[in-house]
Chain A
Amino acid sequence: MARLLDVKEYKVYYQTLKGQIRAVDGVNFFVNADEVFGVAGESGCGKSTLGNSLIYLKAPMRYAGGNVILDGMEISRLPDEIMKKMRFEKISIIPQFAMDAMSPTKKIKNIVVDLVREHDKKMSEKDIIDLAIKRFKMVGLSENVMNMYSIELSGGMKQRVVMVISTLLNPRLLIADEITSALDVSSQKFSVEMLDEFKEKKFVSSVIFITHDISVLYQIADRIMIMYAGHVVEIGNTEDIVSKPLHPYTKLLISSLPKMGVQFSQNRLTGIPGYPPNLLNPPTGCRFYDRCPLRIDPQKCKNEIPPLVEYMPGRYIACWAYTKGNDKNG
């Protein structure tokens, strides 16, 4: 399968007075064309940082290394002028803060027209508005929304408006950051269905679906990546990750969830004792060491970062228990 996005040893730090916060610290993964790639992990593990930095790396974020290849093109250090063209047209985002992603003093219509015009000067205002109205109707919004201000919309409506705006130029890759978290169960379901429909209709090709609630991913994701404290710990098909988690963190994560079938639960990933490490001065070895029940080789686990290896075809794990020579835990 063709890879749409390939991320290698990618690092993004936050520059603060106290020092660097290593929020994304050497992650490796790829996203295939035409798939939904789920990203899960506890709050603060760097999911949003990863998503935001892929499209718009803005201070206090700082690029600290690695490669991001989108559609065969290295984009991690593109000059802003060129990257600007890629945004919205090739890669787009529904940010975690969708609730206040729109200026309160502008009508939705103006926001839509202004944003599209930045990319396509030739497109007439009417065409832009018509296109937007068509999409709004698809997500169950009336065309009146165009003349409203974001403050007049409910949370669910804002979420849908942002979903429509972000996909208006049919980007290849859409990053959807916690689009279900602020919603009630039925709106969550609706959002997920809409995303599916947009994919069906080819408005977007692939989606990176970020959530702290792994149960949402059963529904929608083809593959799942689990992050912990700025590192990738495991990647695999949704089936495999859910039914046969391998990494000790993933195991705890899955077992702390309610039984399968109880989907869209409000359950948070809090079932694991202890706290994630401080990303200002992260531990030198495995970042899960402190909370890990396994610690297959305590000396090594504490001092050396486990690499992400392909343990089985399509199954990637970063744990000393699954690297060659330590393979006792199959």
Chain B
Amino acid sequence: MKLSERLKRWDVLYFFLTNNKFKIGIGILLFFILLSVIGPFFVRYTPYEYAGAQASPPTFDHPLGTSPFGYDLYSQLIVALDGTWLVGLIGGGVATMIGLLIGFFAGYKGGFWDELLMMLTNILLVIPTIALLVIIASFLNSRSVVLESVIIGLTGWPWVARAVRAQTLSLKSREFVNLSKISGAGTLKIIMEDIAPNMLSYVFMVFILQFGGSILAIVGLSFIGLGPTNSVSLGGILQDSVLWNALILGYWWWMIPPGIVITFMVASLYFINMAMDEAFNPRLRST
């Protein structure tokens, strides 16, 4: 039993190392991590500093060009990248933690608590997150990246709770939990020894999805003018470009790179998630 379990682990690891989606996902992710580590060494301006040429296309001096106010867009992008990681980590983390606690508790306890918590979850799920975010953000005088991330996390947990609950129910119905029940182990012991380890990989996948979801949420929020008030954000750069007619004037260097960064950052996370999904559900594998 023990040996076969261990075999299974190696099996999964082997699958990852040979899975193209995983390799591509990790590759892109590492590229962006590298960009935020090395990128700052080449930043020569603060985001809102007059850097010289106005509305200049990419040049050697300004690798991503400048805005009509002469801001260096490369510097803005690199600074905004840090904020984006932060939102993903905090937003995804908060949503995963809350969702994990609530979903797990509901699934494990069952009965009244399950009904109550799931009703609450479903109600919050139906209320569009963006509407809640807008109403909260628009009444906040100053909005820091951290604060907005926490708020995004606070509105994102119902998805996690649902998924975790379903997973808990299916784990609960398996033999080994019954065994620990018969052997008289307490609830906490069962959770720590039987359910949690099985849940870990699953929770990690959920976290990855929430990470990506939080990034998309902050981007949307910044784009409608409710992003962080104290720093540049990718959505904010895009909002500026649209508000200052980059479209009509054809300043493509202003509006294209941030979108590419967002898309591939999120896509790399989804790729990793997809590879994990395939590793744990062999049926989904396509090759």
Provide the residues of chain A in CB contact with B105, threshold 8 Å: none
Interface of B is mostly: helix
Chain B residue at minimal CB-CB distance from A280: B4
Q: Is A18 an interface residue (CB 8 A)?
A: yes
A280 to chain B, nearest CB (A): 8
Q: Is B282 an interface residue (CB 8 A)?
A: yes
- From 1 to 59 in chain A, residues with beta carbon under 8 angstroms from any chain B beta carbon are 16-18
Per-residue A-contact encoding for B249-273, CB less than 8 Å = 1, 0 else? 0000000000000000000000000
B11 to chain A, nearest CB (A): 5
A278 to B14, CA, bound (A): 22
B1 to chain A, nearest CB (A): 11
- From 277 to 292 in chain A, residues with beta carbon under 8 angstroms from any chain B beta carbon are 278
Provide the residues of chain A in CB contact with B85, threshold 8 Å: none
Per-residue A-contact encoding for B4-15, CB less than 8 Å = 1, 0 else? 100110010011
Number of residues of chain A lying within 8 A (CB) of chain B: 4
B252 to chain A, nearest CB (A): 46
A278 to B3, CA, bound (A): 12
Provide the residues of chain A in CB contact with B8, threshold 8 Å: 18
A283 to B46, CA, bound (A): 70
A18 to B11, CA, bound (A): 7
Provide the residues of chain B in CB contact with A18, threshold 8 Å: 7-8, 11
Chain B residue at minimal CB-CB distance from A16: B282
A17 to B11, CA, bound (A): 7
Provide the residues of chain A in CB contact with B11, threshold 8 Å: 17-18
A278 to B282, CA, bound (A): 21
A268 to chain B, nearest CB (A): 16
Residue with the greatest number of chain B CB neighbours at <10 A, chosen from A16, A17, A18, A278: A17
- From 147 to 201 in chain A, residues with beta carbon under 8 angstroms from any chain B beta carbon are none
Chain A residue at minimal CB-CB distance from B8: A18
A317 to B8, CA, bound (A): 37
A278 to B11, CA, bound (A): 17
Chain B residue at minimal CB-CB distance from A60: B282
Provide the residues of chain A in CB contact with B14, threshold 8 Å: 17
Chain A residue at minimal CB-CB distance from B283: A60
A278 to B8, CA, bound (A): 15
B12 to chain A, nearest CB (A): 9
A17 to B7, CA, bound (A): 11
A298 to B7, CA, bound (A): 31
Chain B residue at minimal CB-CB distance from A17: B11
Provide the residues of chain A in CB contact with B4, threshold 8 Å: 278
A18 to B7, CA, bound (A): 8
Provide the residues of chain B in CB contact with A16, threshold 8 Å: 282
Provide the residues of chain B in CB contact with A278, threshold 8 Å: 4
A67 to B7, CA, bound (A): 34
- From 1 to 44 in chain B, residues with beta carbon under 8 angstroms from any chain A beta carbon are 4, 7-8, 11, 14-15
A287 to chain B, nearest CB (A): 18
B55 to chain A, nearest CB (A): 55
A16 to B7, CA, bound (A): 13
Chain A residues with a Cβ under 8 A of chain B: 16-18, 278
Chain B residues with a Cβ under 8 A of chain A: 4, 7-8, 11, 14-15, 282
**Would you give 9 A-B contacts (Cβ < 8 Å), ordered by A?**
A16-B282, A17-B11, A17-B14, A17-B15, A17-B282, A18-B7, A18-B8, A18-B11, A278-B4
Closest 3 CB pairs of A and B: A17-B11, A18-B11, A18-B7
Contacts A16-B282, A17-B15, A18-B11 aside, 6 further interface pairs with beta carbons under 8 A come to A17-B11, A17-B14, A17-B282, A18-B7, A18-B8, A278-B4
